[in-house]
Chain A
Amino acid sequence: DTAVSQTPKYLVTQMGNDKSIKCEQNLGHDTMYWYKQDSKKFLKIMFSYNNKELIINETVPNRFSPKSPDKAHLNLHINSLELGDSAVYFCASSLADEQFFGPGTRLTVL
């Protein structure tokens, strides 16, 4: 069974649209994260949640809104998509020292 899963794997959409990426972990971890990896391959944290509570919120436009319905899920909703939002988005979860990453969602905004 996949530990951290994300859907969809690929997402192609037009500027101005609203889209969501879903993440689920079956590891029983308390903390979940969203990272963005841009075209230059820099990997940057966006958000983290611990037991559905927002812990880390980096300088991310408020068009990005994470939602955690329960501690096994952390979804990312993006409003009014822009060209600069094109990237690979990774979800991760952790219990203690080690973070487990999902396979990534490649978002392309046209």
Chain B
Amino acid sequence: DAKTTQPTSMDCAEGRAANLPCNHSTISGNEYVYWYRQIHSQGPQYIIHGLKNNETNEMASLIITEDRKSSTLILPHATLRDTAVYYCIVRVGMNRDDKIIFGKGTRLHILP
């Protein structure tokens, strides 16, 4: 079972920041928070991951609370192409035996 909980769906206006929350209250000390997204009919796409520090890349920013029990993925200037299902995942990472367990994710609708 997935170790994360996310809202089922969210709306965001085009050009605004999309903030997607994720709860992972049972996260272990050696587990990372990963985000993937799946645009309709395509394979999932990696977005970002982090352990305890905030992370930023060309796609998004990841804010992890100090107690690591929740995080927020931020898409700074959402476009229509960001409409997708976003999955928050916790896993040990860098371990070939560790598998990604996808939950139900958050369906993000970017509104024109």
B99 within 8 A of A: yes
Which residues on the B side are within 8 Å of A58 (C-beta)? 99
Are B96 and A50 interface neighbours, CB within 8 A?
Answer: yes
A41-B85, A56-B99 known; A103 and B93 CB under 8 Å? no
Which of the 9-residue segments B17-25, B44-52, B61-69, B75-83 touches chain A?
A: B44-52
A42-B104, A103-B42 known; A97 and B99 CB under 8 Å? no
A44 within 8 A of B: yes
Are B42 and A44 interface neighbours, CB within 8 A?
Answer: no
Quote the shortest CB–CB distance from A11 to chain B (angstroms): 15
Interface residues in B, total, Cβ within 8 A: 22
Quote the shortest CB–CB distance from A62 to chain B (angstroms): 19
Cβ contact of A96, chosen from B36, B43, B94, cutoff 8 A:
B94
B30 within 8 A of A: no
Are A101 and B100 interface neighbours, CB within 8 A?
Answer: no
Cβ contact of A101, chosen from B32, B34, B44, cutoff 8 A:
B44
Q: Please give the residue numbers on chain A whose beta carbons come within 8 Å of chain B beta carbons, in ascending order.
A: 4, 30-31, 41-45, 48, 50, 55-56, 58, 90, 92, 96-104
11 contacts between A and B (CB under 8 A): A30-B96, A42-B104, A43-B87, A55-B96, A58-B99, A98-B49, A99-B44, A99-B100, A101-B45, A104-B41, A104-B43
